[in-house]
Structure 1
Amino acid sequence: MKQQYSFFSTYELAYLAMTVATCTVGRLLFQFLPNIQPMTAIFLIITLQLGLFRGLLINILSVLITNIYLGMGVWTIAQILSFTVIICLMALFSRVFPIFRQSLFLQVLFSIFAGFLYGFIMACVDVTIYGLPQFWPYYLSGFSFDLLHAIGNGGFYLVLNPIFKQLFLKTVKKKEV
């Protein structure tokens, strides 16, 4: 009998679907707070646990689904691009610097930095797409929102990292059985 191999195991597919649902509900639940939502932290945690491809997959699906509810537009591409850069950096740091993978402090620090980087990339794309005359005034006008995003990322990372780690370990155990 020939064994078939699938790209995702059933348990991993369920774990990824649950993660997209968590991102979606989390973003919608916190939409009344400007730029405070768990998506960035979840993207970073998933990238650390499952790698770059799955982090990017969760990113694209979560942004598209939440923007169906919150409003789809040209900014959706900028959001996916911004999160993609952050996820790629997380994957790079976790691969190049082994201490990064083990240090919760460094991971939280990066998640805080990611809030500022996200806003910077979004501003770069916005200025280009909308033809705004000057970058720095536009970027600095949104800096308080980037600060809220950064603080939210740090808090959500601290709270969600142990939860997702436990879920991941349970998924791996079921996969091995």
Structure 2
Amino acid sequence: MENSNKHVSGWLTVRDICFIALLTAACVVGRTAFQFIPNVQPITTMFILISLYKGFTRGFLVMLLTILTTNIYMGMGPWTLTQLFSYSVIILVSFGLSKIPGFSQRKIPQLVFVLLAGYLFGFLTACGDYVIYGIRAFWPYYLQGIYFDTMHGAGNFLFYLLLSPIVPRLFMRYWPD
């Protein structure tokens, strides 16, 4: 292809589509590789980094493709809807935070956010489960999952420490706007 920045359907370039596919593949491998550790996976951190540096649409597309692909292997069910909802909110919040001057350059606020994103994911998923499954007692149900939310947040924190020095530089070098 002569011009890798040729727009497809008006808003994505061929380069965007290629990077979305590559990032989705990396997220699928990352989620699958860490599935033996409950709620510890690199995908939340990746979705946040993509949303911070490349915007809501790209983060959302990678998330949508990752969740649908991995749930084909790990099990598709009503929980897929709660995962999609919870990650969509996290991506939206990440994108919103990227609009705060300096947030994308400061690591401490980002570390706090990725840690809290594990708890936000758990809370939103519990809310979705409450609606879908008709759970009668929300707070006991939610509080039973705090351990897993803590694992999720701690995993996000560690993956952020590993990925945040690399991913933004890769984006700047190979996927400029």
TM-score normalized with structure 2 length:
0.91
Deviations along 1:50-107, whole A, 9 cap, x unmatched? 1011111111110000000000001101000000001101111111x21212111111
Whether 1:78 and 2:82 are equivalent positions in the alignment is yes
Report runs of 4+ in structure 1 exceeding 3 Å deviation. none
Query: Going by fraction, where is helix more abundant, 1 or 2?
Result: 1
Whether 1:53 and 2:54 are equivalent positions in the alignment is no
Structure 2 match to 1:104 = 107
Percentage identity across paired residues of the two chains:
44
Deviation (angstroms), 1:131: 1.0
Moved more, 40-49 or 160-169: 160-169
Deviation (angstroms), 1:170: 2.2
Correspondent of 2:143 among 140, 145, 160: 140
The residue type equivalent to 1:5 in the other structure is: H
Tell me the secondary structure at the aligned position of residue 98 of structure 1.
Answer: coil
Deviation (angstroms), 1:18: 1.1
Deviation (angstroms), 1:122: 0.5
TM-score normalized with structure 1 length:
0.91
| Mapped partners of 1:10, 1:133: distance in 2 | 48
Deviations along 1:6-54, whole A, 9 cap, x unmatched? 3333333222111101110000000000000000000000001110111
The 1:142/1:5 distance shift into structure 2, 3 A limit, reads closer
The 5 A counterparts of 1:1-177 are 5-6=7-8, 7-95=11-99, 97-172=100-175
1:15 touches 1:171 (CA, 8 Å); kept in 2? no
Show structure 2 runs of 5+ residues with no match: 1-5
1:12 touches 1:171 (CA, 8 Å); kept in 2? no
Over aligned residues, Cα RMSD in angstroms?
1.4
Deviation (angstroms), 1:132: 1.1
2:52 touches 2:104 (CA, 8 Å); kept in 1? yes
The count of residues paired between Structure 1 and Structure 2 equals 170
Deviation (angstroms), 1:117: 0.3
1:20 touches 1:58 (CA, 8 Å); kept in 2? yes
